[in-house]
Structure 1
């Protein structure tokens, strides 16, 4: 079976198989009748969709079928986009169905600025205006002012991430959390209505769909189909729907090692607005023998084209779910990559460092992912964030990873502004220093389990960077960072007590804060409380100065 936990989306299909049958399932508007459908099943070919629109499925089949015994069905009950389909629907008296009796029957971590997401830099001139960026910043800088609305979302599995190019060697962004983190089990997530316009929400609520499933009887029972298609429809090699083009491209890339031919199919689907194909095309333009050693045929490497496709995927409009758009909408990976490229600049792709554009795409990444994250960001407005809100693990889902990564990088830019000391290459645009805004973004990442963001919050409070100095609060955030840090690279500054109990209160005699081991060794040598207090105060006084002079302990940034 092919991905039984895949999600139904508009204008694409999912497929599964048994020993004697292959099923193709996709969504059609709830009001669709048999007369509105264009379905043709032949010995080698299938075309299916709505009349007057591009077919959802149109291709030569992987293997011949018994088209006389094949049939289609239209479920009576409605479904919404992103509904989980755990198994192909079975025929029931509640379904509308038709037998195809003839071919013609048609019914993490290092020690101060954003680094590139990829070792090879890419680029393309951006077109987003300052006004657009400002609008995005206003929406994401205060996620707490929101109302929650429930959605059912199934996070992708490891195999789906690989198919999306997120775990492959040709397309792996530098992220503060490892993409190899075990995927979180499917959960129902609540979303912030602030991240979708009321018009889009109303439109999504008004449009309902039904599941249409085509049951294809295999001519050779017991033969496993690797993919549902083997080529284009009758008109030519590339005459197929975008999902089939994507699946065939994936076959050539992963199974045949022919990256050049895979790119041809990806580009064909990408030009028609298929988001996943845009991401894959961008990755293949950066592939070579070093990144994909087992491949036999490579396309010409072109960093500029690579970034162009990343940016096109990032700039796609939010899917309007009107049944005519083959795009999945803007992709958070693409937004993150584009943001990091603008954040560092790229001589290879002829892109100048532009922090304003970097902020635009980081915030777009957050806008896309926030509605699918099960978290009420309003808790960040409270003086004390409830312990039960805090994640005790690194971000698990794809949305959580890219949201926290983008929030983390955004915080770095606001902490230092567009003219940080020590930078030889400056941003072409101006971003004012705003430590309080940096703190806000880091908190958004930290509550999701981002270790470096938690650490940087501790640095801000300990060093009084735009806020009042609070060593106790700094110790709590350092304690959270150490709990979350699986790399064991983060070390709390000497002289700051690490508070491991998040709900502990300053001066609470029931549980003393725990100092780092290095500090504990020094403490053992002190025999009087007065001496200990004096020594601690002296160290605190010098702590901020050490950071200001670029001491060993500093704000974390990504590799």
Structure 2
């Protein structure tokens, strides 16, 4: 068994895997930790493991009996970091059926963000605000201010200092502790590591085990009451994924679930306020008094809280606050950037504003971290495009539109294959918003958006011809001028025809002038030759 692909190893939680004869459970302990600092008990069907004087990371009744005489644990010598890739820590590629998921409301789904309309470019190349699809900038969620002095190397974030919890988590070093539990019955396939409480007490277990067990109760056992009870217990103890699950339950409510043909979960009544509170707890993370991160900040929760603050929610009792929205969008990007296998450092290369020679993705964001990073960056750009326009809800950073900064954020997500961001950059270049107007460059971004668009909803606006990403500016291309100030009309073919006709007339005038000059020269030379010939004739005749 291994975790779902998007889940990482954090402190105060564990990951687990299994082979036919063994179950492996791993978690992090502080770098300075020694064997004497550990409290580990392995019995035939009971287990407890963690640091002395602290809540165990693993505790409960095992799913099946083990051979505790041959089972063992080991402490790795090398350092590990929070959010390590679990694929390098687990032993089996098979997926556990106990892997449950957190609900995601459609309204908060990444990549369902509103995109800019494809405007029909007018004579002055401005947005077609008469379109029924035009966006009201005041309704757009905001983004974050930029500050060069706080920029981080190899990171797309160049704004404020990382949130304290994030900084504490990423600055500490840890070692990996692994338990190797030998199965008593090798024919038994474990679905969860822990199936009950420690020494007969049903709820005496660690929060990670409670979360896994709750998923088993919900999806396999159809025991909604026990599932909800275990999710709630895990959430109260700081388990981030359990917080998301509880928040989703409050969003859905038992009223909606009663119509389910499969089962009637014992969900709470719908409560938007509590849903927001649980999402916020997951976004903020949980830090103990000693600085230990109990529950890490979750990207999904950060994105949800950011969009909620950006739009406001009367139902949840949340007022618009663009500064807070920006903070959570930034936190979402900070939380995910370190888990994305991509070098963002070239994004600010002043000699390559079009990124034409950089290895942009040829596919869409495909991991959880990439999707939420792109969504947060996209929403950030929308806010800077429109500006908050509201002194009561935002600071001076976003009170006025900043299309140039909007483009910078969209370029971050565009590099990861976010089609909507590419499209919006094309619109900005075509209209000269935040950048010098460049129809050829717009064509490149539109072309990239079309290739990445899996739905087919992104249509290149009239007046712009699609250009291959690695193409060079060509003399015969209708959009060859980098700073072409000539108006682009409704049809690119008609515009090109007009330009070609104009060039043809100019060449005709030049040719006629050359022909006239040549004729004059010929006539002049001919006249001179004639005069010389006449004089020569009379001179020779006189001599004769």
TM-score scaled by length of structure 1: 0.69
Deviations 1:418-468 (A, max 9, x none): 249xxxxx9844632222222221222222211111211222222233443
Name the SS of the counterpart of 1:48 in structure 2: strand
Q: Which runs of 5+ in 1 are unaligned?
A: 91-107, 118-132, 150-189, 421-425, 535-559
Name the SS of the counterpart of 1:326 in structure 2: strand
Alignment of 1:497 with 2:503, yes or no, is: no
- Change in CA separation of 1:455 and 1:266 when aligned onto 2, cut-off 3 Å: same
Deviations 1:507-559 (A, max 9, x none): 3669989xx9x9577689x598227999xxxxxxxxxxxxxxxxxxxxxxxxx
Shift of 1:299: 0.8
Structure 2 distance, partners of 1:147, 1:482, is 31
- Change in CA separation of 1:494 and 1:242 when aligned onto 2, cut-off 3 Å: same
Alignment of 1:446 with 2:447, yes or no, is: no
Residue number in structure 1 paired with 2:107: none
Select 2:368's aligned residue among 383, 398, 402: 398
Which structure exhibits the higher relative contact order, with contacts defined as CA atoms closer than 8 Å and separated by 6 or more residues?
1
Residue number in structure 1 paired with 2:520: none
Larger radius of gyration: 2
Structure 2 distance, partners of 1:116, 1:484, is 26
- Change in CA separation of 1:267 and 1:256 when aligned onto 2, cut-off 3 Å: same
Name the SS of the counterpart of 1:474 in structure 2: helix
Alignment of 1:147 with 2:153, yes or no, is: yes
Alignment of 1:285 with 2:250, yes or no, is: yes
Deviations 1:147-176 (A, max 9, x none): 239xxxxxxxxxxxxxxxxxxxxxxxxxxx
Select 1:271's aligned residue among 221, 233, 236: 236
Contact 1:341 1:358 in 2 (8 A): yes
Residue number in structure 2 paired with 1:207: 173
Shift of 1:212: 2.7
Shift of 1:293: 5.3
Structure 2 distance, partners of 1:458, 1:364, is 27
Shift of 1:305: 1.0
Contact 1:137 1:363 in 2 (8 A): no
Residue number in structure 2 paired with 1:173: none
Deviations 1:87-111 (A, max 9, x none): 6689xxxxxxxxxxxxxxxxx5654
- Change in CA separation of 1:475 and 1:364 when aligned onto 2, cut-off 3 Å: same
Deviations 1:124-153 (A, max 9, x none): xxxxxxxxx99x6335xx69954239xxxx
Structure 1 distance, partners of 2:275, 2:257, is 17
Shift of 1:275: 1.5
Structure 2 distance, partners of 1:59, 1:506, is 70
Show the 5 A alignment for 1:216-295: 216-234=181-199, 236-287=201-252, 288-289=256-257, 294-295=262-263
Residue number in structure 2 paired with 1:128: none
Contact 2:137 2:387 in 1 (8 A): no
Deviations 1:38-73 (A, max 9, x none): 111223311111111111110111123333443333
Contact 1:392 1:449 in 2 (8 A): yes
- Change in CA separation of 1:202 and 1:259 when aligned onto 2, cut-off 3 Å: closer
Select 1:138's aligned residue among 146, 152, 165: 146
Residue number in structure 1 paired with 2:120: none
Shift of 1:277: 1.5
Deviations 1:247-282 (A, max 9, x none): 111212322344443232222122222212111211
Residue number in structure 2 paired with 1:436: 404
Query: How many residues were matched structurally?
Result: 447
Contact 2:473 2:480 in 1 (8 A): no
Select 1:476's aligned residue among 438, 444, 460: 444
With 283-292 and 59-68 compared, the bigger mean Cα shift is at 283-292
Superposed CA RMSD in Å reads 4.1
Contact 1:303 1:348 in 2 (8 A): yes
Contact 2:258 2:265 in 1 (8 A): no
Name the SS of the counterpart of 2:338 in structure 1: helix
Structure 1 distance, partners of 2:77, 2:172, is 17
- Change in CA separation of 1:246 and 1:528 when aligned onto 2, cut-off 3 Å: closer
Structure 2 distance, partners of 1:32, 1:479, is 54
Residue number in structure 2 paired with 1:130: none
Shift of 1:240: 0.9
- Change in CA separation of 1:203 and 1:315 when aligned onto 2, cut-off 3 Å: closer
Select 1:376's aligned residue among 341, 344, 351: 344
Q: Which runs of 5+ in 2 are unaligned?
A: 93-111, 118-134, 482-487, 506-544
Contact 1:504 1:511 in 2 (8 A): no
Contact 2:285 2:294 in 1 (8 A): no
Structure 2 distance, partners of 1:348, 1:320, is 31
- Change in CA separation of 1:321 and 1:40 when aligned onto 2, cut-off 3 Å: same
TM-score scaled by length of structure 2: 0.70
Name the SS of the counterpart of 2:405 in structure 1: helix
Select 1:354's aligned residue among 302, 307, 321: 321
Residue number in structure 1 paired with 2:379: 409
Contact 2:464 2:492 in 1 (8 A): no
Shift of 1:369: 2.0
Contact 1:387 1:502 in 2 (8 A): yes
Deviations 1:387-427 (A, max 9, x none): 3332222122222211111111111122122249xxxxx98
With 43-52 and 341-350 compared, the bigger mean Cα shift is at 341-350
Alignment of 1:310 with 2:276, yes or no, is: no
Residue number in structure 1 paired with 2:60: 59
Structure 2 distance, partners of 1:143, 1:208, is 30
Structure 1 distance, partners of 2:248, 2:63, is 26
Structure 2 distance, partners of 1:143, 1:339, is 24
Contact 2:364 2:416 in 1 (8 A): yes
Name the SS of the counterpart of 1:219 in structure 2: coil
Contact 1:114 1:344 in 2 (8 A): no
